[in-house]
Structure 1
Amino acid sequence: MTGEGTGGTRGGLAGRTVVVVGGSAGIGLETARQVRAADGELVLVARDAERLRRAADELHPRSTAAFDARDTGRLEPFLGELPGQVDHVLVTAGSPAYTPLAELDLTNAGRDFGGRIAMLLAVARASREKVRAGGTLLFIGGTGGRRPAPGWP
């Protein structure tokens, strides 16, 4: 997003609306900063209301919402009720569990994995009529910068 894009704007985001789910920290927050630097509009969603407030004070988004994105009962209606259409939706919400493989509770792991998939499907379903033609849905996951090690999944 930092290179020259179409129309001479950085990344072609001027006047575009980007929804960042997980936008108060890490990759989400830095992406939100890049969107604003490129004169794009933001909608920020984050679980931690205080971190979201700090991000909003810095970035001046069009709107914000504080809730856990894994709560699909809140996520899907929130996206569906955004006024007008948006250009891009980025999801960075969620965090991996750091548990040695020998100690991994498969029931909890299945629930966590299923919750993550449900969240992504809810975003995709709610975005069908919300994202303009040519827009994007981008789902990012990570391991928080941890290095692989023996015994860790």
Structure 2
Amino acid sequence: MAAALGRRFGVASAAAALIALAAFGSASGTASKSAFVKSTVKAHDVVIFSKSYCPYCRRAKAVFKELELKNEPYVVELDQREDGWEIQDALSNLVGRRTVPQVFVHGKHLGGSDDIVEAYESGKLAKLLNIDVKDDL
């Protein structure tokens, strides 16, 4: 394709056309990853976008384990997917943060690790999940 464009329009025009095609492919890839994020969040009560080695991600996942939910959170381990960086880019565009974890409960973005711990300690997380929290007293 590049050779045919180069003969017809010149090398500079061919290069510009290829750059435009690459940008379009990248933009459509981001759009598809954004759609993936949105559909995943919609399909599950709790979604955690995580990286398996991240201590902050482990802390956020531990909070939900502590709550002993009927259904475990749906976890997307970005470091274990070929398209993980693209999904992380899409998350960044959607929530304004590139860090992980990013946690969603019933379609609502709650934030990262510190936000989840704070919501847990204040009782907000239990209320969002409509569960009773066991009191240790």
Calculate the TM-score normalised by the size of structure 2.
0.31
**Structure with more of its chain in helix, by fraction:** 2
Larger Rg: 2
Query: If each structure's strand is expressed as a fraction of its own residues, which one has the higher value?
Result: 1
